[in-house]
Amino acid sequence: MSDCLVSLEAVHFAYDPLRPVLAGCDLRIAPGERVGLVGPNGSGKTTLLALVVGLLRPSSGRVEVFGKVRATETDFQEVRGRAGLLFQDPDDQLFCPTVAEDVAFGPLNFGVPREEVRQIVARSLESLGLGGYEDRVTYKLSGGEKRLVSLATVLAMQPELLLLDEPTSGLDDEAEGRVIEVLAGLPQAMLIVSHHRPLLRRLATRVVRLAGGRIEPLDGQL
Amino acid sequence: MFDHAPHAPPHRHPSPLDRLDPRGRIVAAVVFSIVVAVAQRFPTLVVALAAAAAASLLARVSWRGVLRRLLPLNAFMLLVLVLVPLEVEGLPLATLGPLEFSREGLAVAARIALKANAIILAMAVLMGTMDVTTLGHALHHLYLPEKLIHLLLFTVRYVDVLRREYGRLRAAMKVRGFRPRISRHTYRSFGYLVGMLLVRSVDRSERIEAAMKCRGFRGRFFLLDHFAFTRRDVPFAVASLAVLVLLALAEWVH
């Protein structure tokens, strides 16, 4: 079991005790897997991602990430250094004035020396075809560029696991294609929340569905 | 429709000033302003205004841009020039019925006008031509409190997001036929609009904090950029110092 990257067991969570969001949710992600997660609006997909990195805590159940049971803030600080969460709205993620600073934010927080950070910034941007974007102002980027820069900020932390929340929502066909191709070329295990069927067909090794607070397998219906 | 950024620095050709260390420009502008603010003699103030004008030539700021900043100020100064001579007692210059304009009052008003113009012009040239991000970082390196700088930088980053949010809500109201009138319905609707903006801002700030935590944020910012005081800055520093010494001599030694 501890060879799983993520293992949720009987996780319960509710924002409002009368309306539980997760009720006995089980999910495992093995190394190398790319798990697609679908489910109706408001079924708790984003909540589930937040639970994995400890932005929210379950009311009961077990959250095991990278082979260890995680419960305290300190536990999750380590998790956040190794799992990259891509937010649904890039405006939430990109808060620094310039692209380079935003990409550097994560590595600087983990105490990487400045010279090395500069190399990481250059490499992360280059790998997504964003070379030369360093001094661009984040709020002036297009939607597709913002999404890719957000991804660069996540990749700059060299994560072992990617948690992607609707990575292609709100993008036009061209930007969407580019994001999908970029993701397909990444080596990391992924948990992908998306309703976009072409994306799931191209990326996911299996797809699960979140409904009624539980995870159920979804086979052959895409 | 909501896409242009209102607070972007104006486009212009890079000037010799842009290559200078921003910290030097800020220190020069602040010290200049303090000296001008305490100076009282006319020769000093005229020299100060001339120095600020010379700096604006060096910075190659557009005359139109400078006028746009100075015009509202001087509209107000006109008011000062009319009202202050009425208030201050002294040798009468002119009388208009029961109103008496004094010589001393005119001198006080003229001093205020000269000071204000010199300071605004210097600020506009030395600091107004800097983009806000650079300004924030330079202030950080001048040891201003981090919290204030973060406030400035976050404001710059999110004021446009908020404006677009406001634009979307307003548009949504408009397409359903909302026209502001003097009515209870209008007040209530604007109340909802402002309330909704606040609620959304709080939500967004929580999401931003979550995103920052995910990247290891623990309450401290690390800046990537460092500024360097180079040989290019020496002439500027010498010139600024010369102007300040000249002002001090004119004011206190004459």
Domains of chain A: 33-57+73-218 (3.40.50.300)
pLDDT value at B37 more than 70? yes
Window 67-86 of A: residues touching B by CB (8 A cutoff) are 77, 80-81, 84-85
Nearest one of B132, B88, B143, B77 to B110, comparing CA atoms: B77
Residue B13 dihedral angles phi and psi, to the nearest 5°: -70, 145
pLDDT value at B8 more than 70? no
What pLDDT sits at residue B3? 35
pLDDT in tens, B130-162: 878 788 888 888 989 988 988 888 888 888 888
Q: Are strands A22-29 and A189-193 parallel, antiparallel or unpaired?
A: unpaired
What pLDDT sits at residue B119? 95
What pLDDT sits at residue B196? 87
pLDDT value at B114 more than 90? yes
Strands (E), B80-180: 92-96, 99-102
Over residues B88-94, the mean pLDDT reads 82
Q: Give Dmax (Cα) for chain B.
A: 73
CA A56, CA A87: separation in Å to the nearest integer?
A: 15
What pLDDT sits at residue B63? 81
CA A124, CA B209: separation in Å to the nearest integer?
A: 23
Which of A46, A57, A74, A93 should one mutate to test binding to chain B, selecting the residue with the greatest count of B CBs within 10 A? A93
CA B10, CA B5: separation in Å to the nearest integer?
A: 11
What pLDDT sits at residue A220? 62
Chain B: residue whose CA lies nearest to A89: B207
CA A84, CA A181: separation in Å to the nearest integer?
A: 18
pLDDT in tens, A146-199: 999 999 999 999 999 999 999 998 888 888 998 899 999 999 999 999 988 889
CA A86, CA A128: separation in Å to the nearest integer?
A: 15
Q: Is the Cβ–Cβ distance between A110 and A84 less than 8 Å?
A: no
Query: pLDDT band for position B167 (50/70/90)?
Result: confident
- A55–B225 CB contact, under 8 Å: no
Q: Is the Cβ–Cβ distance between A162 and A86 less than 8 Å?
A: yes
User: DSSP 3-state assignment of B141?
Assistant: helix
What pLDDT sits at residue B13? 59
Collect all residues with Cβ–Cβ distance below 8 Å to A77 and sequence separation of at least 6: B216, B218
Q: Give Dmax (Cα) for chain A.
A: 52
What pLDDT sits at residue B11? 43
Q: Is the Cβ–Cβ distance between B164 and B2 less than 8 Å?
A: yes
Q: Are strands A189-193 and A34-38 parallel, antiparallel or unpaired?
A: parallel
- A110–B225 CB contact, under 8 Å: no
Query: pLDDT band for position A98 (50/70/90)?
Result: confident
Residue B16 distance to chain A (closest CA, Å): 20
* Sign, CA torsion A3/A163/A138/A178: positive
Long-range contact set of residues A53-60: C-beta below 8 Å, sequence gap at least 24? A53/A79, A53/A80, A53/A83, A53/A85, A53/A163, A53/B214, A54/A79, A54/A80, A55/B210, A55/B213, A55/B214, A56/A13, A58/A11, A58/A12, A58/A13, A58/A22, A59/A12, A59/A13, A59/A14, A60/A10, A60/A11, A60/A12
Window 45-84 of B: residues touching A by CB (8 A cutoff) are none
pLDDT in tens, B43-90: 999 999 999 998 888 888 888 888 888 999 999 999 999 899 888 888
Collect all residues with Cβ–Cβ distance below 8 Å to A41 and sequence separation of at least 6: none
Of B154, B211, B216, nearest to A87 by CB-CB distance is: B211
**What Cα–Cα distance (Å) separates residue B132 from each residue in A94, A122, B47?**
17, 24, 29
Of B136, B160, B214, nearest to A85 by CB-CB distance is: B214
Other beta carbons less than 10 A from residue B169's beta carbon: 16
Query: pLDDT band for position B10 (50/70/90)?
Result: very low
SS (HEC) of chain A: CCCCCEEEEEEEECCECCECCEEEEEEEECCCCEEEEECCCCCCHHHHHHHHCCCCCCCEEEEEECCEECCCHHHHHHHHHHEEEECCCHHHHCCCCEHHHHHHHHHHHCCCCHHHHHHHHHHHHHHCCCCCCCCCEHHHCCHHHHHHHHHHHHHCCCCCEEEEECCCCCCCHHHHHHHHHHHHCCCCEEEEECCCHHHHHHHCCEEEEEECCEEEEECCCC
Window 165-204 of B: residues touching A by CB (8 A cutoff) are 204
Taking the Cβ of residue B213 and every Cβ of chain A, the question of whether any pair is shorter than 8 Å is answered with yes
Q: What is the ipTM of this complex?
A: 0.76
* Sign, CA torsion B151/B23/A149/B146: negative
Looking at per-residue pLDDT, the higher value among A181 and B93 belongs to A181
Q: Is the Cβ–Cβ distance between A160 and A188 less than 8 Å?
A: yes
The two three-digit tokens of residue A119, written as one number: 């190399």
Over residues B93-105, the mean pLDDT reads 84
pLDDT value at A99 more than 70? yes
Query: pLDDT band for position A207 (50/70/90)?
Result: very high
Over residues B22-30, the mean pLDDT reads 93
Q: Is the Cβ–Cβ distance between A51 and A25 less than 8 Å?
A: no
The two three-digit tokens of residue A75, written as one number: 């536990």
- A139–B224 CB contact, under 8 Å: no
Chain B: residue whose CA lies nearest to A110: B216
A&B contacts, CB < 8 Å: 82
What pLDDT sits at residue A204? 94
Q: Residue B216: its chain A contacts at CB < 8 A?
A: 77, 80-81, 106, 109-110, 157
What pLDDT sits at residue A221? 62
Q: Is the Cβ–Cβ distance between B68 and B84 less than 8 Å?
A: no
pLDDT in tens, B194-225: 988 898 888 888 998 899 888 888 877 777 76
Q: How far apart are the first and last CA of chain A?
A: 29
CA A92, CA B169: separation in Å to the nearest integer?
A: 19
CA A149, CA B69: separation in Å to the nearest integer?
A: 36
The DSSP letter of residue B19 is G
